[in-house]
Amino acid sequence: MDNLKLRFPPVMVFAGFAVLIWLVALLLPGDINLHGAETAFLVIGIGAGGYFGATGLSEFRRARTTTSPSHPENASAIVSDGIYSKTRNPMYLGLQFILLGWAVFQGNLFAIPVALGFAVYITAFQIKPEEAILEENFGSEYLAYKARVRRWM
């Protein structure tokens, strides 16, 4: 399983989960009727996801550090202001909100746990390896940040 660490770009993982959610909804029983509210969940998911993602990306750019999740070793700063004072991973949180909205939009009960599987995967194979690299590169400064701010929210 170590070979999965930092192997796939998070956007690719996100796309894979989006397709998997669609397939689960298409192939498995478990339809739920939300009486038309499905679209509202999708819009809310996209809105929240867009906010967290764009805000997180903006903070990284303002700090002039890498935005590449494939190379966390290139980080030149710990970003702890703005949205990063509330969550250490706003961009991944944004993707999670979008997937949850997409899952509810599909109207299938089994699609929701699949969407939550994104958080499990991205934590194990992206976030934890990133954190290990940041701990190595920034030491006590990053450990203090980790103690102060939650991983997800």
**Furthest-apart CA pair in the chain: how many Å?**
51
Length of the chain: 153
Could you list the beta-strand ranges (E) of 24-86: none
- CA-CA distance, 86 to 100, in Å (whole number)? 20
Q: How does pLDDT run across 60-85, given as a tens digit for each residue?
A: 999 999 888 888 889 999 999 999 99
pTM of the predicted model as reported, rounded to 2 decimal places: 0.94
Q: How does pLDDT run across 84-131, given as a tens digit for each residue?
A: 999 999 999 999 999 999 999 999 999 999 999 999 999 999 999 999
Which pLDDT does position 69 carry in this prediction?
87
Which pLDDT does position 2 carry in this prediction?
74
